[in-house]
Structure 1
Amino acid sequence: MILPKILLKHSNNQDKINDLLRKELQQAVNDLLEAELTAFLGYDPYARDGWNTGNSRNGAYFRKVDTQFGEIEIQVPRDRNGLFHQHTLPDYKQHADVLENMIIKLYSKGVTTREIADLIEKMYGSHYSPAQVSNISKQMIPKVEAYHKRKLSDKFFCVYLDATYVPLRRETFEREAVYIAIGIKPNGHKEVIDYCIAPNENIEVWTELLQSMKSRGLEQVELFLLDGVVGMKTALAKTYPQAHFQRCLVHVMRNICAKVRVEDREAIMNEFKQIHQQANKAAAVDILHAFYAKWDKSYNHVIRNLKDIEPDLLVFYNYPKQIRASIYSTNMIESFNNVIKRKPKPKAEFPTEQSLDTFIGILAMSYNDRYFNRIHKGFGQVQDTLESYFD
């Protein structure tokens, strides 16, 4: 063994010993990482066995990690398909991971990779190229994939469904639909259940998302809240036949205001708001019918459409008054949508669907961590009542 002889030679120089050990440790860790990738791919570098396997080596990204012997530079190898995840180094446990955590947080706020690289260097004096920043953000891809596949709770009291549009580049620059489901459990805990991305909003994608939720363990939902997507009520009945349906009153009010004269909008809006502010359902029905009578002559087509959906307007009154403010509209999910739409602005558009998926996944997991074990307003007071709605 050569190293012990060298260490003995420099036994009186601790700095020299630390430098030697640092270099040995750096080489050992890099060798282990390369061996991990070889085992993952199933063939050695440049071996003929790797031809036409569908995956190959794809360079490396660099990490600087503090050790008891000083800072070492680690080369983490990559595969072309982005499936390899090393286990030699624990995720986010070393000093350098403070910077990597910062990079991921900045990425989740919509800051571009080039801007992140400049900010990190100015703040910490450590240089990361835009490509390295991009590679660090890609470390979240397996976590996002696991999020999409995780086992779900077997029951949610209510589930909010809504779609928002985010810029995404495919063949051309487009705005694509992000389908989002946020739920509140009977104990009041809320979470982003799941989301998916598609070129536009349609009933087929919503049906797939609902079926995916059920296949992953979500068996019972008492109440769904959403706007008026055509065919959605039928899709819900097929997947969750016992669930009830509340149409978002805020969306309904917006639709009404878009179809009436400007000079009537304020009065109509103020009167329609009274519908969800009553003490009970009977009083709300009286207010709604008075609204019909007052405006039917001026806006017959609007009132006719409103009468058609009346069974879905006042369902929230069937539940305890403590939670009604949370279940007559999809405002809660829209606040999450606004975060998604606000934060990507510096990016202008996402280059790939995977980059958009990773971005939203980080936000969704952060949201779930932030609200883990928090009880949504009003739900804690009626938990036993809400539990009684389930088998």
Structure 2
Amino acid sequence: MSVPAIAGRLGEALMSDSPLPPDAPTAATPPHTPLRAAFAVDDRQVQAHLDHVVRQTVEQTLNALLDAEADALCGGKRYERSPDRVDTRAGTYDRTLHTTAGEVTLKVPRLRSLPFETQIIERYRRRQSSVEEALVEMYLAGVSTRRVEDITEALWGTRVSASTVSELNQKVYERIDAWRGRPIAGEYPYLFVDGIWLKRTWGGEVRNVAVLVAVGVSAAGHRDILAVQEGSKEDGESWLTFFRHVKERGLRGVRMVTSDKCLGIVEAAAAVFPDATWQRCVVHFERNILSTVPREKMAEVATMVKAIYASEDRPAAEAKAEQVAAKLDAMRLSSAAKVLRAGVGETLCYFAFPQGHWRRIRTNNLLERLMKEIRRRTRVVGAFPDGHSAVMLAAARLRHVAGTDWGERAYLDMKLLSEQDGKTKTAGEGNGPLVAPASNGSVGAVV
């Protein structure tokens, strides 16, 4: 049977109440190729039509609400005579509004004497608040300004300029400042600190600006970003101001400060947290040693150094370190042996804490991952106009990370520390003072 004949019989069946003939195609019968082409559907046209219908419905609903609000202000409907009427209409004016359904045109009523202050749409607002929040969240989550423009055009049919995104971000900066200056409650036995260098323009020149970050592990075992501050340099004065800032906000109970051997950080930490122990990051220390080793011997030396931190306690680690240093001397790597002997004592403070915590408190890897997030987000910016903008964007990214399950997951089992404290109290022992590097090149001097 030909296609026109089939189409004719289907039309007759649809016009009548009689069932389809036995040889007519049904839903269970795969249609022939010509028939499929005859009933082809353009998905793009259907989607465009649906978008238009949704947008038109939103537009009609909002205009109806505006009319109802104008009637309530006037005390009567349009052209209605009423003793309660207090004003009359004076036409309308068009306004565009960007909603999640797309751009709609509103007919905003004018009144002859009373100002029309609508409660539905704020004066001078052009976008729905949910759209603005989406723009800001995209920007803070790591989407570049140019990419935000492309996304808004694809989603809502209108392109939001870079200046508009910047204006929206200024509103968020107030919340970020409040988050950065929030009071710190509870104790944080472990404190991790580090800094990152970003670029800023100054008098037509590109200069560096330091962003200092502190992350603490609370008594409940959760990670928390405690501070994000600008430092003119990563020097002692900047770190001293930074540590005083977090202490003034309520930081207490610090038992260990983990960082790399940055200039001035040990002295600043000792001045503000005199009862805490300083732990030099093991990973950074290993890199310092390997920087003095020829490339062909790096793998062998790295294995030797890692064996030190696989020891069961501090005396065993110290003995192993001396064995490794002697072997380095025998390999004619005296520079590596000298670096190892001078600094290994600064990396073994973690042995005074529970063994279940060793792997995570002896390095600054916790902060290194966050610094990579900051670097990834700020790379698309290049040079910032000032240091405040650099700190704001870094803090915004860290605030976004802190709002995920990153801060909700338990990082350490702090029951181990409580149990150790109970045993130490029974034995009459206490924590040691902060260990700082000695000027004479020895393992360390007591501050």
Query: Partners in 2 of 1:26 and 1:256 — Cα distance?
Result: 75
**Partners of 2:289 and 2:339 within 8 A in 1:** no
- Residue from 150, 162, 167 that aligns with 1:135: 167
Query: Partners in 1 of 2:156 and 2:185 — Cα distance?
Result: 42
Question: Match for 1:208: what amino acid?
Answer: T
Deviation at 1:245, TM superposition (A): 0.9
| Structure 2 counterparts to residues 66-77 of structure 1, below 5 A | 67=120, 72=121, 74-75=123-124
More displaced, 294-303 or 319-328? 294-303
1:329 to 2:363 alignment: yes
Deviation at 1:110, TM superposition (A): 4.3
Query: Partners in 1 of 2:375 and 2:397 — Cα distance?
Result: 12
Which position in structure 2 is the counterpart of 1:56?
A: none
- Residue from 217, 241, 257 that aligns with 2:274: 241
- Residue from 327, 338, 357 that aligns with 2:391: 357
2:210 match: secondary structure: strand
**Partners of 2:217 and 2:224 within 8 A in 1:** yes
Question: Match for 1:231: what amino acid?
Answer: G
Query: Partners in 1 of 2:337 and 2:327 — Cα distance?
Result: 10
Question: Match for 1:243: what amino acid?
Answer: A
TM-score by length of 1: 0.75
Aligned residues: 327
Question: Match for 2:378: what amino acid?
Answer: P
Structure with the greater relative contact order (CA < 8 A, sep ≥ 6): 1 or 2? 1
Structure (1 or 2) with the larger CA radius of gyration: 2
**Partners of 1:227 and 1:251 within 8 A in 2:** yes
**Partners of 1:107 and 1:359 within 8 A in 2:** no
Identical amino acids, percent of aligned pairs? 21
Query: Partners in 1 of 2:351 and 2:340 — Cα distance?
Result: 18
5+ residue gaps, structure 2? 1-71, 83-91, 93-105, 425-429, 432-447
Deviation at 1:386, TM superposition (A): 7.0
1:305 to 2:339 alignment: yes
Deviation string 1:230-269 (CA, Å, 9 cap, x unpaired) is 3322221111010001100100111111111112111111
Query: Partners in 2 of 1:384 and 1:236 — Cα distance?
Result: 24
Query: Partners in 1 of 2:132 and 2:315 — Cα distance?
Result: 57
1:100 to 2:135 alignment: no
The alpha-carbon distance between structure 1 residues 163 and 7, as it changes in their structure 2 partners (threshold 3 A), is same
**Partners of 1:186 and 1:386 within 8 A in 2:** no
The alpha-carbon distance between structure 1 residues 6 and 211, as it changes in their structure 2 partners (threshold 3 A), is same
More displaced, 204-213 or 290-299? 290-299
More displaced, 122-131 or 178-187? 122-131
Question: Match for 2:294: what amino acid?
Answer: R
RMSD: 3.1
Query: Partners in 1 of 2:272 and 2:342 — Cα distance?
Result: 23
Query: Partners in 1 of 2:379 and 2:212 — Cα distance?
Result: 19
**Partners of 2:290 and 2:336 within 8 A in 1:** no
Deviation at 1:332, TM superposition (A): 0.7
Which position in structure 1 is the counterpart of 2:259?
A: 226
Question: Match for 2:410: what amino acid?
Answer: I
- Residue from 199, 205, 212 that aligns with 1:167: 199
1:207 match: secondary structure: helix
Question: Match for 1:296: what amino acid?
Answer: D
Question: Match for 1:9: what amino acid?
Answer: E
Which position in structure 2 is the counterpart of 1:345?
A: 379
Question: Match for 1:337: what amino acid?
Answer: M
1:375 to 2:424 alignment: no
Query: Partners in 1 of 2:217 and 2:134 — Cα distance?
Result: 30
Which position in structure 2 is the counterpart of 1:214?
A: 247
The alpha-carbon distance between structure 1 residues 131 and 230, as it changes in their structure 2 partners (threshold 3 A), is closer
